[in-house]
């Protein structure tokens, strides 16, 4: 039988009060139940703790030596429980997240607002960066989790599906391209293109799609931020190829957003965590909020098999 906290408390109560009757009343136990607990404790410890006769109860020499240790154990356990309850009540802590730019714009603002209402004492650290950097930061435990697009997941990471995203043509309303139905990659080859930095997952997907058609495209503009690409497209300076989820945010652009019909231009967005690392309660809470926001945001949450 294992050593139990209630057995130690029973022993200390009898030792302090010098009476099974008084100790049983204090602990809301029957005297037979209290006697059984003391006997079980003596059996576990392998020593006799109390000498009892018809008139009194006294500590044995072994009982006198063990009583202070038992008292310390109970005190330390009570302090541990009190500390845990305080942490739970205050919901203090932090969550460190990094996301690719399109996912950040699509779901993070709403998710952060909802999370702050539920966990006002928890601080959030949000970073926008590339998939490669997110993977490295998750591995190094510089993040609690990341949001990125992965074709294949390394064995040291685990992923949770969030939504499917389609890369679309984004351009000013006055461009003749808007009259084409549907739009294909071939329609874009000779137009000034506004593309993201080559290090982004967005750009690699686009380059791969053009290469499959036998084209190598040189963009008219190459930018590092999706908002810059959208603004250049809005000004009529070319056609941007951007994530459709970017335009789920409340920022209004005076542009047309049209899907490009090519299978490579669809990607899946995941929450990425380090395999085997236990998430904090704050991180788990944020992931639950994120999943709820994703489902209610109008994004495509159908995962391919």
Domain segments of the chain as ranges:
5-89, 93-296
Q: Where does the pLDDT of residue 183 fall: very low under 50, low under 70, confident under 90, or very high at 90 and above?
A: confident
Both structure tokens of 281: 């309660």
Q: What is the pLDDT of residue 134?
A: 92
Q: Where does the pLDDT of residue 2 fall: very low under 50, low under 70, confident under 90, or very high at 90 and above?
A: low
Pick the CATH number of 5-89 from 3.30.420.40, 1.10.10.10, 3.50.50.60, 3.40.630.30: 1.10.10.10
Has residue 253 got a pLDDT over 80?
A: no
Q: pLDDT digit string (tens) for 193-209?
A: 999 988 888 888 899 99
Percent of the chain with pLDDT over 90: 26
Q: What is the mean pLDDT of residues 258-266?
A: 84
Burial class (CB in 10 A: 0-12, 13-18, 19+), 11: buried
Q: What is the pLDDT of residue 179?
A: 82
CA distance 217 to 194: 11
The string over 209-230, giving b where at least 16 C-beta atoms fall within 10 Å of a residue's C-beta and e elsewhere, is bbeeeeeebebeeebeebeebb
Q: pLDDT digit string (tens) for 269-289?
A: 899 999 988 898 899 999 999
From residue 292, alpha-carbon distances to 108, 110, 171, 205 in Å are 12, 10, 31, 28
The mean predicted confidence, pLDDT, of the chain is: 86
Q: pLDDT digit string (tens) for 33-87?
A: 988 888 888 888 888 988 887 677 888 988 888 888 888 888 888 888 877 766 6
* Residue found by looking up tokens 């080559």 in the block: 198
Q: Which fold has domain 93-296?
A: D-Maltodextrin-Binding Protein; domain 2 (3.40.190)
Has residue 143 got a pLDDT over 60?
A: yes
- Across 1-10, 168-177, 180-189, 221-230, least confident range: 1-10
CA distance 104 to 126: 9
Q: What is the pLDDT of residue 273?
A: 94
In sequence order, the β-bridge partners of residue 192 are: none
Q: What is the pLDDT of residue 90?
A: 52
Q: What is the pLDDT of residue 301?
A: 78
- Do 93-296 and 5-89 have the same topology in CATH? no
Q: Are 105 and 202 in contact (CB under 8 A)?
A: no
Q: Where does the pLDDT of residue 89 fall: very low under 50, low under 70, confident under 90, or very high at 90 and above?
A: low
Q: What is the mean pLDDT of residues 223-229?
A: 88
Q: Are 275 and 214 in contact (CB under 8 A)?
A: no
């Amino acid at each position: 039988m294992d050593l139990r906290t209630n057995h130690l408390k029973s022993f200390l109560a009898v030792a302090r009060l010098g009476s099974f009757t008084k100790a049983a009343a204090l602990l809301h136990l029957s005297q037979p139940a209290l006697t059984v607990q003391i006997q079980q404790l003596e059996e576990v410890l392998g020593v006799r703790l109390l000498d009892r006769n018809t008139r009194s109860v006294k500590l044995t020499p072994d009982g006198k030596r063990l009583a202070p240790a038992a008292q310390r154990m109970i005190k330390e356990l009570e302090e541990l429980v009190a500390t845990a309850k305080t942490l739970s009540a205050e919901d203090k802590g932090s969550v460190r997240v990094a996301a690719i730019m399109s996912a950040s714009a699509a779901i993070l603002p709403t998710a952060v607002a909802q999370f702050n209402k539920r966990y006002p004492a928890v601080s959030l650290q949000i970073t926008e960066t590339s998939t490669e950097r997110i993977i490295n930061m998750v591995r190094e435990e510089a993040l609690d989790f990341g949001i990125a697009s992965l074709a294949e997941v390394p064995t040291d990471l685990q992923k949770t599906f969030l939504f499917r995203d389609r890369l679309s043509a984004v351009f000013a309303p006055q461009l003749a391209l808007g009259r084409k139905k549907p739009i294909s990659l071939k329609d874009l080859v000779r137009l000034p293109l506004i593309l993201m930095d080559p290090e982004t997952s967005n750009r690699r997907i686009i380059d791969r799609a053009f290469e499959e058609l036998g084209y190598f495209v040189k963009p008219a503009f190459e930018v590092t931020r999706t908002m810059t690409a959208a603004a250049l497209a809005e000004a009529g300076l070319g056609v941007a190829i951007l994530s459709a989820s970017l335009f789920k945010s409340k920022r209004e652009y005076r542009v047309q957003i049209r899907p490009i019909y090519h299978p490579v231009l669809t990607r899946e967005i995941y929450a990425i965590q380090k395999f085997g690392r236990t998430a904090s309660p704050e991180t788990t809470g944020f992931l639950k909020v994120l999943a709820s926001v994703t489902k209610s945001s109008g994004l495509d949450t159908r995962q391919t098999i």
